[in-house]
Structure 1
Amino acid sequence: MNRLSRRHFLTAAAVAAPLAAIPLRAPAAAGGPRALTFTHLHTGERLSLEYFRNGAYLPEAMQAVNHLLRDFRNGAVGNMDPALLDLLHGLHQATGSQAPFQIISGYRSPATNEALHRRSAGVATRSLHLKGMAIDIRLADVQLEHLRDAALSLRRGGVGYYAGSNFVHIDTGRVRAW
């Protein structure tokens, strides 16, 4: 296990311990309608929409989400993973939040990811942001560590905790934490 992987493993173990103390609400019925509200912190754009109804994702809603979560640095639009929206929906319910998700970063183009990687070792060369499977968020009415803990408790993908930058990364990749 390399040093970085070991640190991520140890961090995951340390943050998972307090999860049992957090009361979480039950997720919505699998086939029921699902809606989300967003505020993009870099573009100032807001979006509130139902993205799932009658057992299906709504194509117009998915297009609107793809546009909102585009690479704000160069305008490139990717296809966001519908499972990421479901993860956000479940996270909103788990925290009991009434606030919109504040978006720091959604989709990243290869050019943006490469530029960010050159500036910071913390940016993965094969980031799930490139595949529309990751998002960096916060909620105004939920403490950052509680948002992290709720995301960890869902066990539906990766969770990164960036207290110094004031956001939580979530993705629909394998379950892991850092």
Structure 2
Amino acid sequence: MNRRYFLGVALSTVAAPVTASSFFSRRPTERPRVLSFRHLHTDDLIEVTYRIGDTYQRSALQRLNYFLRDFRTGEVAPIDPRLFDILYDLKLSLGDPDARFDLISAYRSPSSNAQLRKTSGGVARNSLHMRGQAVDVRLPDLSTRLLRDAAVALERGGVGYYRRSDFVHLDTGEVRTWGA
């Protein structure tokens, strides 16, 4: 056996307690951030740790980008990670860290957005959905009115309330609200 091997083993045993103790002394904001979704159009499910401490997890973001793709065209685009932070903080503010969001819409290609504008009211010409900065969601066991109120209280980005369609729009644009 060589000397480097023994030195490596010795250093790893000395370093292990430091790593473990620093893990247990983390601030609550440094806990792994987990999001869970059910896509209402595809019935797909995902649960992913997208951020640990201040570090976004690249592979998790890629999985979320794919999950939040335009389900009409299959196009994938990068989703603004600040949107995930809003969703995470929203479920914590509601007292349900294990909440699973029902996803109605996320990324929309320009062609899907144009198609929706023709057939639906309230679809913006320059929708933040086309930039990967917006999602439409609900929580299965919570009224969308309460979800909207909690999102407005966060004061981060846009919050739209669609009572008849039973969902809340969240985005990373300017702070603003609309809907009844």
Shared fold by TM > 0.5? yes
Alignment of 1:136-155 (within 5 A): 136-155=136-155
Amino acid at match of 1:52: R
Counterpart check, 1:86 vs 2:110: no
Q: CA deviation at 1:29?
A: 4.2
1:50 aligns with 2:49: yes
Higher relative contact order (CA closer than 8 Å, sequence separation 6+): 1
Alignment-derived partner of residue 69 in structure 1: 68
Q: Distance in 1 between matches of 2:126 and 2:156?
A: 19
Q: Deviations over 1:50-99 (max 9, x none)?
A: 00014210110001100110000110101000000000000110112343
Q: Which residue of 2 aligns with 1:106?
A: 106
> What letter is aligned with 1:154?
L
Output the CA distance in 2 between the equivalents of 1:141 and 1:42. 19
Question: Aligned residue for 2:18?
Answer: none
Residues in 2 aligned to 1:172 and 1:29: alpha-carbon distance in whole angstroms: 24
Q: Distance in 2 between matches of 1:146 and 1:121?
A: 23
Q: Structure 1 pair 75/93, CA: closer, same or farther in 2 (3 Å)?
A: same
Q: Percent identity?
A: 48
Amino acid of the structure 2 residue aligned with 1:88? L
Any conservation in 1 of the 2:29–2:53 contact (CA below 8 Å)?
no
RMSD (Å), alpha carbons: 1.3
Please state whether the residue corresponding to 1:165 is helix, strand or coil.
Answer: coil
**Aligned-partner Cα distance in 2 for 1:113–1:43:** 18
1:125 aligned partner: 125
Q: Return the alpha-carbon distance in structure 1 between the equivalents of residues 121 and 49 of structure 2.
A: 37
After superposition, the C-alpha distances for 1:26-65 in whole angstroms (9 at most, x for unaligned) are xx84433211011000001000010001421011000110
Which letter does structure 2 place at the counterpart of 1:118?
K
TM-score between both structures, scaled by the size of structure 1 = 0.81
Q: C-alpha distance in 1, partners of 2:108/2:175?
A: 21
2: CA distance, partners of 1:140 / 1:33:
24
* Corresponding position: 1:41 with 2:79: no
Aligned partner letter, 2:106: G
Which is higher, the Rg of structure 1 or of structure 2? Answer: 2
Deviations 1:106-149 (A, max 9, x none): 00001000111122341001000001100000001211110000
Aligned length: 151
Give the stretch that moved more between structures: 51-60 or 86-95: 51-60
Take 2:78 and 2:125, find their aligned partners in 1: how far apart are those partners? Answer: 19
How far apart, in 1, do the equivalents of 2:71 and 2:118 lie?
18
Which amino acid letter does the alignment assign opposite residue 95 of structure 2?
G
